[in-house]
Amino acid sequence: MAEKRKFLRVSIKSVAEIIYPNEEFAQAYVGGISRGGLEMYTQVEMISGGIHTVRLHFLFQGEEKMETVRGKIKWSASFKNAFISGMEFTSILNATEHTGLLLFIEQAEAFYK
C-alpha cells in the first residue's frame, strides 16, 4: 500500500487536553505526530470533520513542554474501550508558534533517516 502521508510520523509520549469552546477539556494521549498532524487516543469519540484545539504536554530533553495545536479530525475508530483518531493540523507546524514541538519532531526525524 502506498504511503499517503506528506510528513514522516514519529513517536511521542504526550498527555493532552482537547479544549472545547466553553473552556472544558477532555484528556487524550498522543502516540504519533508529524509536521502535519497527530494520532490520539481518547475516551470520547472524535467526529470526522470536527475542528479542535489540543494542548500537548510532552517531554523534550528531560523537560516538560506544553504547546497548543489546532486541527481537523480526519478519521476515528473504536479501540477496545476507547477511540483512536487522526487529526490533520489546520496549518503546518512552524518555528514561531511551535518551537519546542518542531525541535522535538526534527530530532526524531533525524533518528529515522
- Contact of 8 with 93, CB cutoff 8 Å: no
Mean pLDDT of 100-111: 92
Secondary structure tally for the chain: helices H, strands E: 1, 6
- Contact of 88 with 37, CB cutoff 8 Å: yes
- Contact of 49 with 72, CB cutoff 8 Å: yes
pTM of the model: 0.88
6: how many CB neighbours lie within 10 A of its CB? 11
Q: What is the pLDDT of residues 43-100, one digit of tens each?
A: 999 999 999 999 999 999 899 999 999 999 999 999 889 999 999 999 989 999 999 9
Q: Is the pLDDT of residue 2 over 80?
A: no
Who has greater pLDDT, 8 or 16?
16
Long-range contacts of 101-105 (CB under 8 A, 24+ apart): 101/33, 101/56, 101/58, 101/65, 101/67, 101/69, 102/35, 103/60, 104/12, 104/58, 104/60, 104/65, 105/10, 105/33, 105/34, 105/35
Considering the domain 10-112 in this protein, what is its CATH number? Answer: 2.40.10.220
